[in-house]
Every structure is written in C-alpha cells, then in structure tokens.
Amino acid sequence: MTISEQSRGNHRPVASVDTPFLALDPERMERNIARLEARLRALGVALRPHMKTHKSVEIGRRMSRGIGPVTVSTLREAEEFADAGFRDVVYAVGIAPSKLDRVAALRRRGVDLAIILDSVAQARAVADASRRSGDRIPALIEIDADGHRAGLTPDDPEILAVARALVEGGAELRGVLVHAGESYGCTTPDELAAAAENERAAVVGAAERLRAEGYPSPVVSVASTPTAHFARNLDGVTEVRAGVHVFHDLVMAGIGVCTLDDIAISVVATVIGHRPEKGWIITDAGWMAMSRDRGTASQAVDQGYGVVTAMDGTPYEDLVVVRTSQEHGTMAIRPGGDAPLPDLPVGTRVRVLPNHACATTAQHERYQVFPTGSEAIVAEWEIFRGW
Amino acid sequence: MTISEQSRGNHRPVASVDTPFLALDPERMERNIARLEARLRALGVALRPHMKTHKSVEIGRRMSRGIGPVTVSTLREAEEFADAGFRDVVYAVGIAPSKLDRVAALRRRGVDLAIILDSVAQARAVADASRRSGDRIPALIEIDADGHRAGLTPDDPEILAVARALVEGGAELRGVLVHAGESYGCTTPDELAAAAENERAAVVGAAERLRAEGYPSPVVSVASTPTAHFARNLDGVTEVRAGVHVFHDLVMAGIGVCTLDDIAISVVATVIGHRPEKGWIITDAGWMAMSRDRGTASQAVDQGYGVVTAMDGTPYEDLVVVRTSQEHGTMAIRPGGDAPLPDLPVGTRVRVLPNHACATTAQHERYQVFPTGSEAIVAEWEIFRGW
C-alpha cells in the first residue's frame, strides 16, 4: 500500500494543523531507506532495521519492506510490532531477568524474539526461563568494540562462560552482536570506516572464538547508521542494525553521513514574539517539541536546539534555536554568524531540524506526513511510547 | 476522594510492574502542595497551580483542591482540564493568532480561558477574534523582569499600545503576568528573595502604569516555584503560578528550594549489567525514561542524569547516572566522589531522582503511585501529551 493509497481523501491542509507538530517528508524517508539498502546490497549483508527511532508500525513496514526482520529497544516495541504481524525480532538491550515472562509470552505467540546479554547471571536466568517455558529462548552475546557501553570485549573469557551457561542450561546461543557507539564521535570518512572495521573485527573475532570452542554463532550482527554507511567491508557479518538513517538528523549531518536536505523530519513552529534588542525571535516550539537533546553541542558546529528553515525547506542563514523553555523556542543568529536576523512576523511558520531524530520523535504523538514544500498532508501516522 | 478510596482493590505489587517506570510518592506530593499553600496563605496571595509539570487530571485536582484556578502551557492541557470540569484557566504562553479559534471554542464551552501576549500584532489578532466570536477574550500582558525570555520590560511604551489595541479593539484587558526564569540560576535564599522582589516590582510597576493611564489590571500574576518559596513580600500581586513544587526535583534541590527527601517522583530502573573495569553499573533507564534534561549541569553540584537511591529512598553515596543512551543508563561514582561502588547484582531495582520533573514526567504514560518504601501500588494515573 503506498502512502497516497492509504490516505486517499485525507488531504488536510498543512496550515490547519496547530503548531508545534512533527512533519515527516515521505520522499526523503524513502530516499534514505533506499540509499542504505543499496549500500548493504553492495556489501552483501542483510538489514535488520531498528524501530526505536520512529516507533511507528507504518514506518516499520516501509523500513523492513513488509514484515521483515526488525530490531527493537523495548518489549513494548516488540509487542506493538508483533501485533502488526512482525515475526522476526531482536530486543537489543541487555535482558533484565524480570522481563523474561514477557519474552516467553511473545514467543508463544509465534514471534521469533531473540534477546541479548553479557553475563553468566543473565545467561542462567534465560536458561531457567527456557526450561520453565519449554522453549529454547535464543540469545545473542553482546560484544563491546570500543568501551562505549555494555558488552564483553572479544578476548574476555566470560564469553565462553556465557555460551556454556546458555547451551548447557537449555537456551539457544544464536550468535554475537555489537554496537560501536563511539562511531558517533567520528568526523571523517576514514575515521568512520576505521570505526566500522574495528566493530566488524571485534564481533567476527568473538564469533570465531565461539566456533573454535564448538559453539554456534549463526548470527553476527553489527549496528549503527554511521557503520552502515561507511563500512568498506563487512566480511563475516550477517546483518546490520540501523535506525536513524530513516530520518537522519543534525548529528548525522555533523558526522557527514547525510546533508541537511536528507533530514526527513522537522518540527513546525509558529513565531509568537520578538525581542529585537536581544536579537531573538520566539516560537511555540520549546524542548517539549524538540526534546532536550543537544547532540551537536560536542560536534564541530553546534546547532543549538535545531537549524531553522522556511516551510519550503530552505535554511535561514545562521538561524538556529539558541535556547528553549518547555513551550518556548528562542531563535537567533548563531554565535559567530553574521547573517541579518530574518524578518519573521508573529504568526509566521518555520521548520526546525532536530539534533537527534529518536529523541525528537519521542516527544510527539504522531507524524504529519507531507513532502517538504507541499501544502497538503497525505497521511497521519501514530507514534507509540512506553515500555 | 482520597487516593486509597479511589484505588481500592488496585493494590498491585510494585515488583509486578516492568522497569523503567515513573513512581510517584503521594505523601511527599501532598506535603509539597501543603507547604506552598501555607506559604502563600501567610503572604495573602492566591495560588494558580501550573498543570504543565504533571499533565494529570488527578494531580491537577489535588493541586487546585478540586477544580480551582489553573495555569496551562498548551491548549491541549486547557482542553483536557476543561473536559474534567475546570473553568478558570490561564494559557501562559504567548498566543499564536492561529490558535484563537480553539481559544474561542473553549470559551464557548463556559471555560474562562485567558491568554497572554506582548505585542500589538497579537493584541489586534485577539481583538479581531473577540469581535468575530462576539466574546471579549481576556488577555494578560506579559512583562519581562529579567531578560529571560518573552515579555515587555515594565517601562516599555509598547505596554500602553498593547492595552489600547485590546481595549479599543473589543477584547478584555485582564492584567499583567511575569515569569522570572532567571531565578533558576540563584543559589542563596537572599538571591532568591531578591529575584522574587525584582519580579514583584516589575509586574506591579507595569500594573500601576496601566492603571495610571486609565486601563484596568485586576490580575497581577507572578510565577515560579523559587519565587513562591522565597518571596518575602508579594504586595500588589494577586496570584502566584507554580508547578514544579508538586514534585520538586534535583534542580530545585540544587537551588535550595527542597531537599532530596521532598522529591516525589523517581524512575525505577533495573540493573542489567556491569563493567567493573570502568566502574560502571548499567540499568534499563536511559534518556527515554529520564529525559535528556541536564539542568544540574550548570549548578554547583552536577547530578548527571540523576541521583540513585535504593527502593526505600536512601541515596547510594555519590552514585549518579553519569551517561545515558536511549534505553541504557550508566551509573558510576560521581567525579571526585570517593565512596565505593555499591554491590548491585543484575536484577536489582533502584530509583533515580530526576534533574527536571517536567521533562522526566513528559517521557512517561502514567504514574505508579505508592509511598516510598511501600511494596503496593495504590493508584495508576494517566499522563497525557501533545498540543
């Protein structure tokens, strides 16, 4: 079903929706999805798109071309996508033993839900739950490539102890998984390619160690939008998890993964006041609409709470949201910028491109779907939340 | 209706709710509400509590002792509280002209909804909408006391021009309103009292200027939890708007408005991993559960993404959430702290006190209501969102 088929008769004017609201450009989104698919086809690796960025069944169907394999960050996401017919799901946050009953319940519904872990304590809990439910719960061992967060380093003897606890305890060892979060700090294609290679080598090395000891590792999973776009070789990897590429954002633009014209979501705001003596233009999109995420603060170019464009997508030179309250955004020329403050009277609508697509999306109930520059909404898609 | 009456038969065990979730201590909340009421009674000023912090009808009823006067930050809040029977509402964000149809619709339902503005352009739009709807929409002129955000300075001649545009255009001039946001940067009782006096003097001065020119100003409204707790004199002020006092948070504790034991909300998280070589304990409460708010980063004591306590409310010495991903929180001893890392095995539950109650609440669908240390949930209250 295409977007226009699904939404026939639903062409509300963009101007009729009160601000602030979350706009999604479906053409940019489709382009972003297709670009990553083409890259992974060339590398010969499957995609397991991440649902955490958008939390929308409609977008999940587009990213996975139907009801294909997906990655989730919460059991709530797993349940929502299960309800929508998805059957191949990896829950990619280290399992808390208390959540295994919900995992088992989803598996009884026919969902091939796999979990991840990095300790013998978790492996024993998964083995216990497998025996209790009479179902070998599949688990991936989380590998740490760069000291970013969770996981076992590839040379940690604990990997084999975890594998043993799973297999001997009655669970399924499905493989290894890594998330190289430090790649978000890279700034050149060579750095990004090196981070991707480091990630690949770590997780493939862990898989080889398992196999050398007689354990299976059918799945070898790497992550992240930067890795997916900059890896030059993914030999030994079976799948890539990526999510933010569906929308992109200012952090991805700062890393060099995309340009501003690729960013598919924006917050539409209305000018509600001026402080000419301070060089401020005030809007009704504060942090409640943008999120408090300031991911570009540590990049070469700090974009404040967001880059401001006209409704047709053209950026106002050097205009960013420099501060926010809950329901106020203060726009100004960026520090060091020398463009004149544009003339935007009370009532003018603007778009704000976000630092971090996942964080901004989470602030909203729904997407208003329309191509940038269009005045007609073609669809409205719900965003769920919770755990 | 008391909390226990309302929830009779609903005493689910706390342990049965999956983490992360938002816990609300009803005893702390009632104590916080009563404390502010006592202060304002002593100062002889009315309270118009702010609903933006909690977005819950149940809590709004408790803060306003029924369906009393309230402040809101969005028209969605105004509509939700109107549905629940509230009839005296100030929408305290500068009005966008495109929102006046929703304002007029609420007023036709019998809600005495007042709006705020700080420009002649807005005043003309409100006057036009008043004439169109045959209803004098009440407006408060926003005054700026400290250069924080929106508003006209008390000596700005524009105040009289706005008053004229409202009154001559057919709207109602209801008075003046101020929000001294810079008070959040104060650190001593004397600084806070001085900020409150500055706020009072600015808005009372503006009201007197209006009256000297023959304009009415029945309402003289000041704001903020710090002002409400530290003002020594509110002569000439008719009402105080405060919201965050209902829960308090680490920012308020850092300013000195409350102690950690007053903070009524926390995020309950489960330990999902350890990185002993880094001194990290990893939980399932990331920024999706905590928000990205880092309000204490600019205070004397940076509390990271939150202070960690045991389930009984006792803080673990120097243990804070030092970083977050979407669904991961990394706990560690704070920089400079010398307490030993506590032994918290996989599966242990902890509470995290938030930087900013409004931001953390906005990440959740509902409150789980139970006194700190209790093992039985006495109520579950919905949180709405959107604009």
| Dist CA A240 CA A202 (whole Å) | 14
Residue A270 distance to chain B (closest CA, Å): 7
Query: Are the Cβ atoms of A94 and B273 closer than 8 angstroms?
Result: yes
How many residues comprise chain A? 387
Nearest CA-CA partner of B85 in B70, B73, B98: B70
Record: contact B121-A346, CB cut-off 8 A: yes
Produce one character per residue of A310-335: b if its CB has 16 or more CB atoms within 10 Å, e if not: bbebeebebbbbbbbbbbbbbbbbbe
The verdict on a CB contact (< 8 Å) between A346 and B119 is yes
At residue A4, the pLDDT reads: 47
Grade residue A10 by pLDDT with cuts at 50, 70 and 90. Answer: low
Amino acid at B306: G
Taking residue B103's Cβ as centre, other Cβ atoms within 10 Å add up to 23
Q: What is the DSSP string of A6-38?
A: HTTT---BGGGSPSSEEEE-HHHHHHHHHHHHH
Q: Name the closest residue on chain A to residue B289, using Cα atoms.
A: A386
Nearest-CB residue to A52 (from B52, B326, B346): B326
Torsional sign, CA A90, A92, A95, A98: negative
**Do residues A351 and A310 touch, judged by C-beta distance below 8 A?**
yes
Query: Are A345 and B99 an interchain contact pair (Cβ–Cβ within 8 Å)?
Result: no
Do B150 and A102 make contact, defined as CB atoms within 8 angstroms? no
Say if CB B351 and CB B21 are below 8 A apart: no
Nearest to A365 among B95, B273, B385 (CB): B385
The CA distance from A78 to A76, in Å, is 5
Q: What angle do CA B324, A68, A377 make, to 5 degrees?
A: 75
A109-157 pLDDT, tens digit per residue, is: 999 999 999 999 999 999 999 999 999 999 999 999 999 899 999 999 9
Which chain A residues contact residue B275 at CB under 8 A? Answer: 150
Output the CA–CA distances (angstroms, integers) from residue B234 to A74, A136, A306, B212, B237, in the order listed: 49, 68, 39, 20, 5
| Rg (alpha carbons) of chain B, rounded to whole number | 22
Q: Best of B55, B79, B93 to disrupt the A interface by mutation (most A CBs within 10 Å)? A: B93
Task: Tell me the two tokens of residue A78.
Answer: 């797993």
Q: Where are the beta strands (DSSP E) in chain A?
A: 21-24, 46-47, 70-72, 88-91, 112-117, 138-143, 172-178, 219-223, 239-241, 265-275, 280-283, 307-309, 315-324, 329-333, 349-353, 366-369, 379-382
Q: Does the distance separating the beta carbons of B75 and A21 come in below 8 Å?
A: no
Judge: A291–B292 Cβ closer than 8 Å, yes or no. yes
For residue B271, the chain A residues in CB contact (below 8 A) are 96
Average pLDDT over residues A328-344: 97
Q: How far apart are CA A47 and CA A67, in angstroms?
A: 13
CA distance A118 to chain B (A): 7
Looking at CA atoms only, how far is residue B259 from chain A in angstroms? 24
Taking an 8 Å cut-off on Cβ atoms, the answer to whether A347 and B284 are in contact is no
The shortest C-alpha distance from A16 to chain B (Å) reads 9
DSSP string over A74-120: SHHHHHHHHHTT--EEEE-S---GGGHHHHHHHHHTT-EEEEEE-SH
* Closest-CA residue of chain A to B290: A292
Q: Which chain B positions have a beta carbon within 8 Å of A347's beta carbon?
A: 96-98, 121, 125
Tell me which residue in A18, A150, A328 faces B99 most closely, judged by beta carbons: A18
CA dist B272 and A96 (Å) reads: 5
B328 CB neighbours in chain A (<8 A) are 93-94, 149-150
**Would you call A358 and B93 a contact, using CB atoms and an 8 Å cutoff?**
no
Burial bucket for residue A160 (CB in 10 Å: 0-12, 13-18, 19+): middle
Residue B163's contacts (CB-CB under 8 Å, 6 or more residues apart) are: B141, B173, B210, B213, B215
Summarised one tens digit per residue, pLDDT across range B79-105 is 999 999 999 999 999 999 999 999 999
Instruction: Show residues of chain A in contact with B74, CB under 8 Å.
Output: 288, 327
Q: Which of A238, A236, A252, A244 is nearest to A197 (CA)?
A: A236
pLDDT of residue B364: 98
What is the average per-residue pLDDT within A5-13? 65
CA dist A374 and A372 (Å) reads 6
**Are A327 and B93 in contact (CB < 8 Å)?**
yes
CB contact under 8 A, B359 and A330: no
> Could you write out the DSSP letters of every residue in B129-148?
HHHHHTS--EEEEEE-SSSS
Residues A272, B330: C-beta atoms closer than 8 Å: no
CB < 8 Å to B155, chain A: none
Pick the residue from chain A with its C-alpha nearest to B99. A18
Nearest CA in chain A to B365: A386
Distance between CA B208 and CA B188 in Å, rounded? 30
Mean pLDDT rounded to a whole number for chain A: 95
- Sheet containing B88-91: give its strands across: B46-47, B239-241, B219-223, B172-178, B138-143, B112-117, B88-91, B70-72
Residue A221: both structure tokens together: 């999973």
Q: Search chain A and give the residue with CA nearest B383.
A: A386
pLDDT < 70 stretches in chain B: 1-10
Residues of B in contact with A293 (CB under 8 A): 287, 292
Confidence band, pLDDT 50/70/90 cuts, at residue A184: confident
Residue A221: C-alpha distances to residues A77, A213, A214, A246 (Å): 20, 20, 19, 19
Any idea what DSSP says for residue B336? T
Q: pTM for this one?
A: 0.96
How many angstroms separate the first and last alpha carbons of chain B? 29
Q: What is the pLDDT of residue B4?
A: 47
Q: How many CB atoms lie within 10 A of CB A197?
A: 17
Report pLDDT for B65: 94
**Shortest CB distance from A292 goes to which of B75, B292, B345?**
B292
Q: What share of chain A has pLDDT > 70, as a percent?
A: 97
Contact between B332 and B319 under an 8 Å Cβ cutoff? The reply is yes
Task: Check CB contact under 8 Å for A347 and B119.
Answer: no
Determine, for residues A326 and B52 on separate chains, whether the beta-carbon distance falls below 8 Å: yes
| Cis before B20 (ω within 30) | yes
Q: Which of B98, B346, B359 sits opposite A270 (nearest CB)?
A: B98
Q: Which one of A21, A98, A284 has the shortest CB-CB distance to B347?
A: A98
Question: Is the CB of A328 less than 8 angstroms away from the CB of B292?
Answer: no
- Check CB contact under 8 Å for A121 and B94: no
**Do B118 and A328 make contact, defined as CB atoms within 8 angstroms?**
no
Domains of chain A as residue ranges with CATH? 27-246 (3.20.20.10), 260-382 (2.40.37.20)
- Rounded to the nearest angstrom, the minimum Cα separation between A78 and chain B is 14
Q: Which two tokens stand for residue A12?
A: 């509300």
Contact assignment for A272 to B93 by CB distance below 8 Å: yes
CA distance A65 to chain B (A): 25
A346–B96: do the CB atoms touch at under 8 Å? Answer: yes
Contact A94 B272 (CB under 8 A): yes
Alpha-carbon span A236 to A219, nearest angstrom: 10
